[in-house]
Amino acid sequence: MTQNNYYLQKWLLETPKYTVFRVNKLMDFDIEKLKNHLEEQRIELKASKIPKYYFLKPDCLIVEQWPFIINIEKTRNEVLVDPLCASAVLRGAHVYAPGVLGLPSNCVLNERIDIYGAMDGKCRRGLKVKYDGDKKYVGTGYLKMLRYNIFDKGIQPSGIAVQTLLPASMLPVINETIFPRGHVLLQNLPSIIAGWVVNAQPYEYILDMCAAPGNKTTHLAEMSCNKAVIIAIDKTVQKTNKIQQSCNTQGVTCVKAYTFDSTKCYSNEDNIKKENMMDPPYSSNMFNKILLDAPCSGLGQRPQTNNKITPKMLQSYKFVQRKLFDAAVKILKVNGKLVYSTCTVTVDENEGMVAWALEKYPCLKLIPAEPLYGGPGLPDVGLSVTERAMVQRFGPGDDHLRPVDDLYKNTIGFFIAAFIKTGDVTS
């Protein structure tokens, strides 16, 4: 293992040091509610002061860790959760019922309970006693569901099982219910930055190719003051329903969601017969801007508590990404903008995809993915120094091409590239 790989793997195991919220510009936001919420937590945790918070931009709120170590005694009971749920708790989330693996039957509603992640994947759902396998303390909170609510009804449970008070990561838990529904949402910082790179404007025709659950889609709508024409596509009804639900919650009306395979959203038929011109598939030169937030290996998510991806699975993503890229280039208008992003750290899915696209499509011109907050692309993987400086990669490394502030190193692993289409596609 190289030194760079060692530091990358170490970084992926750690929890980001900031909680990030996207603020809905279509609705009012009362910052005093956040301040009061943090003050209530400060009193309960007996902390000396509340965490620092500030706006990076009007639609992006940053909340830092609690400023000092807070000592809370362990309790007599514990709830066991799966690795994904454990990672979410470390990021400042509550424990939702589907993530619970084990809970004793003698617990009392609203009592404080410690949260442990079962890290070895050997715990069977429904455990009644304390787990003796590989487990990790991830936080403490208040029990909101008893055992029979979670395991004994014969249906998939929903809702908050444990209201997290303090994660082991010391990130503040911001209960989104203190704000009116749809006014703010938790969103990773690079995901918000990807929306800024698209820079949606009123009356543009914009396609979000792999849109579920809709966080980037609604961000684009809000950036355009709800006046762009935005098409959001994903492969299943469940996913498009989620997109529509996100739009309804956030007061977005300019988005139309379709259940469709985006790898097939281009058609070379001259006259496509359909009731609405915005129904997929599409002919050439349809959209001013396209966001391709591609399905990926997800290896940028932090903390990586239990990764089961196989080498075969890892190799498969680039082929799907290339199919999506091919469709996107063809339906993008000449002089239109294509933004490509992933939440992974592999070269094949990031710099390698950019290098492939530039060679495959002479009509594509790489442009700076501005605003540039992340670091440059990696060296010696197919991009020139100039091209490396145009993309942005979020991760632990330093590079003389573009110094990166601590905030942007302490988020998830992510990649963003932007292109302009300079002419028609030649096959």
343 is catalytic: yes
Catalytic residue among 85, 123, 247, 343: 343
Residue 381's contacts (CB-CB under 8 Å, 6 or more residues apart) are: 347, 351, 352, 355
Q: Is residue 311 classed exposed, middle or buried when 0-12, 13-18 and 19+ CB atoms within 10 A define those classes?
A: exposed
CB-CB contact of 102 with 80 (8 Å): yes
Instruction: Give the count of beta carbons closer than 10 Å to the beta carbon of residue 322.
Output: 15
Helices (H), 214-261: 215-223, 237-249
Read out DSSP for 142-193?
EE-S-HHHHHSSSS---SEEEEEEEETT------GGGS-TTSEEE--HHHHH
What strand order describes the sheet that includes 112-118?
A: 95-96, 160-167, 135-143, 112-118, 78-81, 100-102
Question: Interior CA angle at 273 toward 269 and 275, to 5°?
Answer: 145
32-36 CB contacts, 8 Å cutoff, 24+ apart: 33/178, 33/179, 34/61, 34/63, 34/174, 34/178, 34/179
CA 21 to chain centre: 11
- How far apart CA 175 and CA 185 sit, in angstroms, is 10
Instruction: Give the count of beta carbons closer than 10 Å to the beta carbon of residue 48.
Output: 10
- How far apart CA 244 and CA 213 sit, in angstroms, is 9
Q: What secondary structure letter does DSSP report for 127?
A: B
Active-site residue numbers?
A: 343
